[in-house]
Amino acid sequence: MKTTKVTFLILLCFTFLLSCKTETKKEQVDSATKSAVTEGTEEKQGQAFIQDDEATPNVLNIAIGSKDHTTLVAAVQAAGLENALVNAGPLMVFAPTNEAFDALPAGTVENLLKPENKDALANILKYHVTPGNYSKDFLKKFKKLGQSNGVDVKVTKDDSDVFIGEAKIIASIPAGNGIVHVIDKVLLPPSN
């Protein structure tokens, strides 16, 4: 009888230890699975969301870092165009200031930022981007530029000022993948 009790006790201890080890392994597997699933489903993916403090800022970084372009950044994010603005380029971005957006008719910006207007917003924003890396002075040589939305915009000059459409270039900031020309009006593509 004594041998049976000892055998039973050893078997009970062995079962207890085995169940503890299985539980720990299961927690490790669950934790690894949860981590892999969370990493794969993040909303913000792509080159625009890689953190790099050493490289020359790209056109998107410049806009994000400017207190005068918060509306533009919100529009770029609403249209989902962040990754397009960090590609190798070169890109010329004509960046309207917050004041330029404020000058639009009341409710225009709010309406464009709605999810159902994402395509219209993207079209307007692409009308502010063209391939190239031309200075303000070099742009004086052009009569028009082909924008990323497939529509041309008129280029005019007046003394030392350069206008893209009706918008005046008020500053230019070199970027790692092009140049940001700050403008005083929002460019609206011609309606068909």
In the chain, pLDDT over 90 holds for what percent of residues? 61
Res 128 pLDDT > 50: yes
Q: What is the mean pLDDT of residues 118-124?
A: 95
pLDDT tens string 132-156: 999 999 999 999 999 999 999 999 9
What was the pLDDT predicted at 70? 94
Res 188 pLDDT > 50: yes
Res 102 pLDDT > 50: yes
Task: Provide the 10 A C-beta neighbour count for residue 140.
Answer: 14
Q: What is the mean pLDDT of residues 89-94?
A: 92
Query: Residue 191's pLDDT band (boundaries 50, 70, 90)?
Result: confident
Averaged pLDDT score across all residues of the chain: 79
Res 178 pLDDT > 70: yes
What was the pLDDT predicted at 47? 47
- 162-143-100 Cα angle (round to 5): 40
Are 88 and 133 spatial neighbours (Cβ–Cβ below 8 Å)? no
Q: What is the mean pLDDT of residues 20-27?
A: 43
DSSP 69-91: GHHHHHHHHHHT-TGGGGSS--E
What was the pLDDT predicted at 84? 84
Placement of tokens 């709010």 in the chain:
110
Task: Provide the angle, in degrees to the nearest 10, between the axes of the packed helices 118-126 and 70-79.
Answer: 120
CA 69, CA 178: separation in Å to the nearest integer? 17
Q: What is the mean pLDDT of residues 113-131?
A: 95
What was the pLDDT predicted at 56? 79
What was the pLDDT predicted at 59? 87
